[in-house]
Structure 1
């Protein structure tokens, strides 16, 4: 075909395929059969246009079908899971929910705080069932109660990214709040690969095992976030805690220091979206 892409025909196909794969990350509610049917219809439209010598229409239809193929590939990779995936274990009732379960895993994200407790995202390695360990993959979000002798504002002093931990927790499935207009918490956690939430009564019930399962680039990003918190500490000491909390939320998405009145002020002004995590924030 004459034109800019005539000498490199595979480049637009690769670009459309990549665009479809990226788009799949934002597709939550979908009909797989409907997407397949749309792709087939685009191919048929492209074939008919080619038969009638309408090359431009055929080109756009073909590239559209390639993009849909990329979307289907991305959705299949995201929503399908192996025999070891925690969702497969849940379907098989391989371990009990709402009961104390011994688990093993790695801390996969920076530890956060919520109302004095630690929020720990764990990449699961296995569960203890009876007298043997059951291998497992997938993530869980643990809420760990802070001990009486530790500062709840400094969770990284107890648990940190990359630690391999083992302990006991009570797990259950994520649930949405029933308030009108509430955030889709289940969908939000699913997009982070989290399909279990759990509660640990005390940080003392978690054992940090030898070994490190973090990555150097993510550890560097977390150090950068910690450095920014230290740079803003003089604001807190000068009595400008709210200003420091707003800056941390804007720059790195850390909302731990925001009080209720500040959140409500931004919500009433219709600007709360500037405080939530976005692509501008450091990982």
Structure 2
């Protein structure tokens, strides 16, 4: 149960396991009282009923002690879920993920955590968690790098897979490509001198050539465009092209960090028209505002 605090009072007897049992021959039914407005009714409860209530850690202090006493309590973070899945990977893949985590953590500390907008203790582990797949037989494995691309990141394919046989390098570059989106252009320029020349080059290439940080219209075009795979010339081989296309995910929600300006705050009708429309008559690509 998530975001259900408003009905917790109605389920007082259920949470306290105050059940009534009616048995007839070999069958029995379990009932509990549920309050609906001013009325209380008996509701059937399944034999295997179990209840897990999810609450935010920030709300924990405000929850009444009697309510908490009804449950076993566990505190789980994104890091905890990542560790659980990590230990279920084959040994070789565990080593790869540990190296990826170490290298990306080192990059964050070297760059400076305060330069990443919105970065918290769960951000990195959320990225790492997305790299692990659970199969139907409950086995765990690393996702193929082809299974991570979206319409916004497929243009990074040539950068991420510079050495496709080196899984660790591909994953490090994939995670870093996500994290540097949280950094402002000024911060990138400011921090470049602290890195070696080789790192400077690929960081500049990633940030300024393969990602959109300056033109909101171009970003929206990438977000809503269906012509994802025309961006990267490396996708021309038909077999690889088809493989990536079949596994491509669609990003539908983004958070945009932008400067406060009169243009951003007060987009008038004219600027909206310039931003979200083009002279192209193709309905699928010419009117971004309608697609959004």
Same-fold status (TM-score > 0.5): no
TM-score normalised by the chain length of structure 1? 0.29
TM-score normalised by the chain length of structure 2? 0.28
- Structure with greater helix percent: 2
Larger radius of gyration: 2
- Structure with greater strand percent: 1
